[in-house]
Chain A
């Protein structure tokens, strides 16, 4: 059942992104940025955690979930260390994924070459 919800919710969030691509002049970079900020806002409004409880990775894997992670990190850190936590919490919570991206990028740059799309 969890797998079905993950598929449906994750798929729906992606289909919504596709509508933004097709119906607006937004570029992919703007949509990614918008999704993360929207994730922070939805999380702040308390609307995103219920979706995570329902769909698991269906809600955390799309970039809205990245925004939720940042917002949750900030809140948790504020609880632990006060106002300073607002600055440390977000990126700390997201550090595993971000550092993995950077490490994979460097490794791929060393190993792989640019390819023609044809």
Chain B
């Protein structure tokens, strides 16, 4: 333990498999090839958009388990969450799944939150096989948080587009001799973020509200581990979008750090020049899908050796926003490393 909420795993858990499912807009985006499944009918044959999101989450988990050659009963726990009120997307998705379920909520930061917690539990030997998953659905989010889908209110340019998709990652204890596609990927470390409120009250500009939280967690992790941005191949934030990404780089500059290898999942998953998505993608499924469709395959293929995933979440509710309260934000971080142990240059 080298800093408050900063975890360096002496026995880094291994990513056994990952699965992700996306919708139609994701199928038109640059990461389409990395998805395990893309659904044309975003209703997924369900009676409601909420259940459609549950179906996406369930499918992502099923794919991850299948790739890991595991049955649900081999899973010691699944940790995950979504954007719906009371986390219902995953609660309904996990009905009939024979595995303990730990529901989480940290808005769009849920994927890294779940992955960090699952990695700690596996690394500590408390769980043998654990899954982390997160989902979001554009239609379910619009009707719950914004306006009806048929309503013609024009979107503000700083607003982001909720990703329709789900991602699931299965973790197993690290060590040699375990099957994996390509190079094994490990979770080398994790950091849980502090709640940071930068005083932003505009709910159509959540990227700006979350950027300070992202930098807070990244800076604390770098300080605690002695790593530098240049020593990492990439730093992926969850869904800061265009506005928040610029702000993050500026905040880092003010602290004397150059974030040249920063990428944002919200900007990777869609092509803003071709797709009308405002300032980029967002949602709990955004970093989950980018992780499974882009980051993990890139690590396995040797494109990067060591990266950070920093999922960012805006923690207001409709009520607090209407009451004029500013937006509290949090960012959770995991460090992913490719290689046999994931430890080189590693944990103190």
- Quick check: do A and B touch in the complex, using CB within 8 A? yes
Inter-chain contact total with CB atoms closer than 8 Å? 31
Q: Which residue of A lies closest to B43 (CB)?
A: A116
* Contact A116:B138 (CB < 8 A) given known A25-B202, A28-B153, A28-B154: yes
A99 part of interface (Cβ distance < 8 Å): no
Q: Per-position contact with B for A7-40: 1 when CB-CB < 8 Å, else 0?
A: 0000000000000010001011100000000000
Contact (Cβ within 8 A) B24 A114: no
Residues of A within 8 A of B142 (CB): 117
CA distance A20 to B42 in the complex (A): 34
B149 part of interface (Cβ distance < 8 Å): yes
With most chain B CB atoms within 10 A of its CB, the pick from A25, A28, A116, A117 is: A116
Contact (Cβ within 8 A) A117 B138: yes
CA distance A27 to B147 in the complex (A): 12
Tell which of A21, A28, A115 touches B149, judged by Cβ atoms closer than 8 Å.
Answer: A115
Contact (Cβ within 8 A) A118 B24: yes
> Among residues 11 to 48 in chain B, which have CB atoms less than 8 Å away from a CB atom of chain A?
23-25, 42-43
B139 part of interface (Cβ distance < 8 Å): yes
Residues of A within 8 A of B42 (CB): 116, 118
Contact (Cβ within 8 A) A114 B148: yes
Contact (Cβ within 8 A) A114 B49: yes
12 contacts between A and B (CB under 8 A): A25-B202, A28-B153, A29-B153, A114-B139, A114-B149, A116-B23, A116-B138, A116-B139, A117-B138, A118-B24, A118-B42, A118-B138
B324 part of interface (Cβ distance < 8 Å): no
Distance in Å: Cβ of A111 to nearest Cβ of chain B: 13
* Contact A21:B154 (CB < 8 A) given known A116-B43, A117-B149: yes
Contact (Cβ within 8 A) B150 A114: yes
Q: Per-position contact with A for B249-282: 1 when CB-CB < 8 Å, else 0?
A: 0000000000000000000000000000000000
> Among residues 74 to 118 in chain A, which have CB atoms less than 8 Å away from a CB atom of chain B?
114-118
User: 10 closest A-B pairs (Cβ-Cβ)?
Assistant: A28-B153, A118-B24, A118-B25, A116-B42, A114-B149, A116-B139, A117-B149, A115-B149, A21-B154, A116-B149
Distance in Å: Cβ of B278 to nearest Cβ of chain A: 12
Residues of B within 8 A of A21 (CB): 154
CA distance A86 to B154 in the complex (A): 35
> Among residues 134 to 172 in chain B, which have CB atoms less than 8 Å away from a CB atom of chain A?
138-139, 142-143, 148-150, 153-154, 164
Q: Which residue of B lies closest to A29 (CB)?
A: B153
> Among residues 20 to 64 in chain A, which have CB atoms less than 8 Å away from a CB atom of chain B?
21, 25, 27-29
Distance in Å: Cβ of B281 to nearest Cβ of chain A: 13
Residues of B within 8 A of A114 (CB): 49, 139, 143, 148-150
Contact (Cβ within 8 A) A118 B149: no
CA distance A28 to B152 in the complex (A): 9
Distance in Å: Cβ of B277 to nearest Cβ of chain A: 10
CA distance A82 to B164 in the complex (A): 58
Contact (Cβ within 8 A) A118 B153: no
Q: Which residue of B lies closest to A117 (CB)?
A: B149
CA distance A117 to B24 in the complex (A): 10
Q: Which residue of A lies closest to B137 (CB)?
A: A116
Q: Which residue of B lies closest to A112 (CB)?
A: B150
Q: Which residue of B lies closest to A31 (CB)?
A: B153
